[in-house]
Amino acid sequence: MPPRLYYDAKNPGLVTVDRSFYRRLGETSRRTLVETIVVPIRTGRAWPVRKGQLCRIVAIEGPQVCDFNAWNLHNPRERFWAARSRQFEGAHVTTGKRLWSCLPYLRPILTFTNDTLPTAPTPSGDGATTCWAPGAIRICTSCRTAPSST
């Protein structure tokens, strides 16, 4: 018997993302704002996001970089695992992609319901991306794109 792939498109099992479900969750017109938190530049902030709630990260002034981590509110040993999440979800995360928790839990700890970062570079070569940093996810609203080496 050949080895079974973790993700098999013909038999996706539990790793399948219910895109229509998360699309409905991401519809902001059906949501009630609970709290607005502004995190000043070069600072950090932690806040709880309970089951069924959404967390939106927005750059409100100029180019920004946001390092993001997540823990299980009821079990701090279960936390976001950047390396495994990158292996499962690819180099750039967007709508429908998930952040995975560490072993022994290894389950989705967060799912992206929407991505409004522009993907086209500006005339100066800047663009926006969501990428991986060691131990965190980095959300860049203005990142210099490297010139191609062709």
Amino acid 144: pLDDT: 39
42: helix, coil or strand? Answer: coil
**Which residue is it, tokens 């700890």?**
109
DSSP designation for 92: S
DSSP designation for 51: T
Which residue spans within the chain are E strands per DSSP?
Answer: 65-68, 71-72, 75-79, 98-100, 108-111, 126-133, 136-144
101: helix, coil or strand? Answer: strand
The structure's pTM equals 0.69
Q: Phi and psi dihedrals of 57, rounded to 5?
A: -110, 125
Is 50 exceeded by the pLDDT of residue 36? yes
Give whichever of 12-21, 92-101, 126-135 has the largest mean pLDDT. Answer: 92-101
Give the C-alpha separation, 16 to 87, whole Å.
16
Buried b or exposed e, range 113-128, using 16+ CB within 10 angstroms: bebeeeeeeeeeeebb
Up-side HSE of residue 79: CA atoms within 13 Å toward CB? 9
Amino acid 71: pLDDT: 92
Do 97 and 112 contact (CB within 8 A), yes or no? yes
Q: What is the pLDDT of residues 98-145, one digit of tens each?
A: 889 999 988 888 888 877 766 666 566 555 555 555 555 555 544 433
